Amino acid sequence: MFQTIALSFLAGLMGTNALPHLLKGMAGEEFPTVLGNSPLRNALAGVTGVVLTGLLAFWADMSSAPWAAAVSIAIGAYVMAAFHGLRGAFWLNTATGRSNPPSSASQGVRHTS
């Protein structure tokens, strides 16, 4: 059961992390990643993350403990959502001395009603 919980958590974490990279990359926008900020690198990192998520989910043998797997996936997804919501990717780039791409939060985007 430990394997199911651990791999399900990682699947939730990885799948949620893959989304912003894949979407920003496919939209042609820069986003911080350890491989560089370019849209192409983000798109490739996002696809790789989706593939790894599928593999982790497969290896997790979720049918052996479906509730534990579901809760673990949700916790992993919430952890990564909080990381990105708190601009963790931008903070990580700054902490490691990498440049950050421009973002709507740093440009003071105004919303009109």
pLDDT, tens only, 3-12 = 999 999 999 9
100 within domain boundaries: no
Residue 14 burial (C-beta neighbours within 10 Å; 0-12, 13-18, 19+): buried
What does pLDDT average to over the chain? 90
101 within domain boundaries: no
Its domain, for residue 44, covers 2-95
Whole-number Å distance between alpha carbons of 21 and 27:
10
Whole-number Å distance between alpha carbons of 71 and 90:
28
Q: Please answer whether residues 90 and 24 qualify as being in contact, where contact means their C-beta atoms are separated by less than 8 angstroms.
A: no
37 within domain boundaries: yes
113 within domain boundaries: no
pLDDT the model gives residue 52 = 97
Say which DSSP state 95 is in. H
109 within domain boundaries: no
Residues near 42 by beta carbon (within 8 Å), at least 6 away in sequence: 21, 22, 24, 25, 29, 30, 31, 33
Q: Is the pLDDT of residue 26 over 70?
A: yes
104 within domain boundaries: no
Based on the structure, what is the number of domains in the chain? 1
7 within domain boundaries: yes
**pLDDT band at 105; cut points 50, 70, 90:** low
pTM (two decimals): 0.83
69 within domain boundaries: yes
